[in-house]
Structures are given as structure tokens and as C-alpha cells.
Amino acid sequence: MERRARITPERLQEVLHYDPNTGEFRWRQRLSRASQIDAVAGTVSLRYRCIRLDGRNYTAHQLAWLYVTGEWPSLLIDHRDGDPTNNRWDNLRLATRSENSANRRRNRNNKSGFKGVIWDRRHGGWLARIGKNRRTYYLGRYATAEEAHAAYAAKARELFGDFARTE
């Protein structure tokens, strides 16, 4: 099966308007019965806004990058505030896979209440750890989850700078 070529910046600007202040794409042309001129384009699927153009699905944050820069992103696109539906231009930035992961929120099933902290059943105590570029850094075992989290937060800022999300 033949794969369709990605949309060009020219075609994107022909069919959609992107407002960098709101992060919304609106239809300039009616490409299907579902698209109405000036209506917000796309639907939210798997937490991201997706837009179908010329027989191919795209995420809105990738289209925003193409719309503003004229080029497809060379890396992943990270949402600074962690909200994958907030596609305002000042909320988007290029990121490596490690940087993008560092900016994730604490998992919902986290039992310690702190990102990067787990209870070490084998040895007892709260264990702090962090990963970057497929390497895990063990930061020590602590008497309290708060102490372990302080170690995690310090290492996260050292490794990831602006991408470090510690809550």
C-alpha cells in the first residue's frame, strides 16, 4: 500500500489558519462534510488534537510547528505546561525523547505521592531514581519520601534544566 506524502507548508496554509495565541486551527476551505469554514479543525484523540488532511492524520502540535517554521520538526515537540491539547506557539518547543519524558507529570498509579520516588520493599526506605538517555541514576535510599523527592528534584534540574518537571 502506497503511503501518502506529508502535507507541505503551502498546502497547510491554504486549507487551515493557525492562531499562535490560542493554538487553534480553523478551516479556510471545506474539505469534507465534517469541516465547516472557520470552525475549529480536528478532534481530541488519545489526549492530542488530531486533524485529518488529504487522507492523512496529523497531530495539531506538529502542524503548528510546520505552519510557523515552514519545516517539519526535527525532534519531538514538547508541551511546556504538560497539556497536550494546549497548542499555543509559546507552549511548544523541540525536545529529545528524554527531555519530553522529563516533562511528564507523575504517574496516576504512583503510591509515594512524589515523582521519582518508590518504596524499596527489599531493603526498606524510600528510593529516589531518575532516567536519562536510557540510563537510570539511583540517587539513594531515604528515611522519608520527602527527602527522596528532594534528591530527585535536584538531579532532575541538573539533568534536564527547563524540561525538569518535579511534581
| Tens digits of residue pLDDT in 6-45 | 999 999 999 999 999 999 999 999 988 888 999 999 999 8
Are 41 and 26 in contact by the 8 Å Cβ rule? The answer is: yes
Position 2 scores a pLDDT of 62
pLDDT of residue 162: 92
Q: How many CB atoms lie within 10 A of CB 123?
A: 7
Return the pLDDT at 129. Answer: 95
Fold annotation for 98-163: GCC-box Binding Domain (3.30.730)
Ranges in the chain annotated CATH 3.90.75.20: 9-95
Stated pTM of the model: 0.83
Q: What's the confidence (pLDDT) of residue 3? A: 73
Which regions of the chain are under pLDDT 50? none
Please name the CATH architecture into which domain 9-95 falls: Alpha-Beta Complex (3.90)
For 86, the 3-state DSSP assignment is coil
Q: Which residues contact 20 (CB under 8 A, 6 or more apart)?
A: 64, 68, 88, 89, 90
Under a CB-based contact definition with an 8 Å cutoff, are residues 82 and 104 in contact?
yes
User: pLDDT value at position 1?
Assistant: 59
